[in-house]
Amino acid sequence: MGYSQALSGLGAASDELDTVGNNIANSSTYGFKSGSVMFADMYANSVANAVTPNAGIGVRNAGVQQNFGQGTFTTTANPYDVAINGNGFFRMSVNGVIEYSRNGQFHSDPNGYIVNAEGANLTGYPANGNGAVSTTTPVPLRIDVSGIAPVQSTTISSNGVNLDSSQAYPKTTPFDPTDSTSYSYTTQATAYDSLGNAHQMTMYFVRDPQPTPPVTPATVNFSVYAAEDGTLVPPTPPATTAGLVGDLQFNSAGSLTSFVDANGNVGTGSAAYSVSMSLSSATGSNTPFPVTLDLQGATAYAGIGNSAALNADGNKAGNYAGVKILDDGTVEGVYDNGSNKVFGKIVLANFINPNGLKPVGDNEWVATNDSGPADLGTPGTGPMGSLLSEQLENSNVNLTSNLVDLITTQRFYQANAQSIKTQNTVDQTLLNM
């Protein structure tokens, strides 16, 4: 029986050499997961006892176990490259067949679809025209490289505006936009009409004198004026003062209590901190169009004033400039007007038994009964790992360990070959008797 045992050992050594060699060959393959051979002994009879033990008849290859441990990361300059930090697999569609991969080397094909080097489509949840992602059945993700239409401005809002209440009252009255001594602060924001034409909005803040006699509790008020493209905005009847938008009213703690419009109207709730003004345009756009000035959160603390934090929503028309992938899998288009548009969200798949996945080459696996069905989710949720943009996961092959395995496997092979040689010597001795 020595021959069969040694022959099985030679076969096992050959299998291990194949596995170790495959590991070494893919030590630079992004997303590759190393494997190791699992051996099992063989017996001719399953019944044995301590008195009459059965001699084994060799070894067999029980399978190759895959190591799905995390690999290190390499930073790239490709915005389509993405690595999984943690559990999960990219869900790929290959001519309608679903496969799974850890290799995040992607690019855009001529039709805008995100694909890998073999042309497999990266799948995810689609987004509608408003950028809302729908968690339906995953579909191949596609980048729309067409431009985006302009969006008309509706609101100019503040972000941490503070009007210094310790500053002296303006030296000159009444307000004159050409005289800097007639106002306390000025700032600008860009609004857009329905055609995407930019309109420069200039805001002026004029510290109001304390009422006579003084009121209790004390208040701090600033009148707000606005000009569009250098011209004071027209008053809203019955108001008659050109440019006057309203009056900011702060309490003795410096907190904004209300924003009274030029006609003395005060809104309720969040509307208590905003007023509306009408803007015009001679470019063929919708005109006049209302824009709300929302100063919720403005303060009047003594100290350095900061009135420059005003931003308008809306945007001009934009051309596609590139793509970016966020940590949560969101795929966004970037446009030269500063806007972003959501195209979808990458979906990841996880398995109860990843070792049950069947490798099919090209750094991809397919699900089997042993792996169980795919559990889908977005990056960073539940057991799913997060994504690292412009990075790739390196092979998790330990090259040093595998080179040592080559040496031990070679000894394994030589020892089994020696067993055959020894058995042959014994047989030759018997024949020579």
* C-alpha of 230 from chain center: 41
User: Domain check: are 362 and 402 in the same one?
Assistant: no
Residues listed for the chain: 433
User: Domain check: are 385 and 295 in the same one?
Assistant: no
User: Domain check: are 162 and 142 in the same one?
Assistant: no
* C-alpha of 81 from chain center: 12
User: Domain check: are 326 and 289 in the same one?
Assistant: no
User: Domain check: are 338 and 191 in the same one?
Assistant: no
Which range has highest mean pLDDT (148-162, 271-285, 361-375)? 361-375
SS3 262: coil
> pLDDT tens digits, residue range 100-127?
999 999 999 999 999 999 999 999 999 9
User: Domain check: are 401 and 340 in the same one?
Assistant: no
Q: Is the peptide bond before 170 cis (omega within 30 degrees of 0)?
A: no
Does 4 or 141 have the greater pLDDT score?
Answer: 141
Phi-psi region at 206: left, alpha or beta (left = phi > 0; alpha = psi -120 to 50): beta
Choose one of 312, 328, 355: the last residue of a domain: 312
**Domain containing 161: what range?**
155-312
> pLDDT tens digits, residue range 226-244?
999 999 999 989 999 999 9
Q: pLDDT grade, residue 58 (50/70/90)?
A: confident
**DSSP structure class, residue 35:** E
Say if residue 52's pLDDT is above 70.
no
205 and 224 Cβ atoms separated by less than 8 Å: yes
Question: Cα–Cα distance between 124 and 374 in angstroms, integer?
Answer: 14
User: Domain check: are 117 and 220 in the same one?
Assistant: no
Does 83 or 218 have the greater pLDDT score?
Answer: 83
Name the amino acid, one letter, at 16: E
User: Domain check: are 241 and 171 in the same one?
Assistant: yes
Predicted pLDDT at 197? 93
Sorted by sequence, the CB contacts under 8 Å of residue 18 that are 6+ apart come out as none
Predicted pLDDT at 38? 85
Predicted pLDDT at 47? 54
User: Domain check: are 161 and 298 in the same one?
Assistant: yes
Predicted pLDDT at 110? 95
* C-alpha of 342 from chain center: 11
pTM over 0.85: no
Token pair of 16, please?
């291990």
> pLDDT tens digits, residue range 317-344?
999 999 999 999 999 999 999 899 999 9
Token pair of 216, please?
């209790």
User: Domain check: are 388 and 401 in the same one?
Assistant: no
Say if residue 161's pLDDT is above 80.
yes
Counting Cα atoms < 13 Å in the Cβ hemisphere of 149 gives 7
User: Domain check: are 371 and 293 in the same one?
Assistant: no
CATH number of the domain that residue 204 is part of: 2.60.98.20
Name the amino acid, one letter, at 419: S
409 and 22 Cβ atoms separated by less than 8 Å: no
Name the amino acid, one letter, at 78: N
Question: Cα–Cα distance between 393 and 32 in angstroms, integer?
Answer: 9
Domain count, the chain: 3
Say if residue 50's pLDDT is above 60.
no
239 and 278 Cβ atoms separated by less than 8 Å: no
DSSP string, 275-293: EEEEE--SSSS--SEEEEE
User: Domain check: are 368 and 268 in the same one?
Assistant: no
225 and 203 Cβ atoms separated by less than 8 Å: yes
**DSSP structure class, residue 400:** H
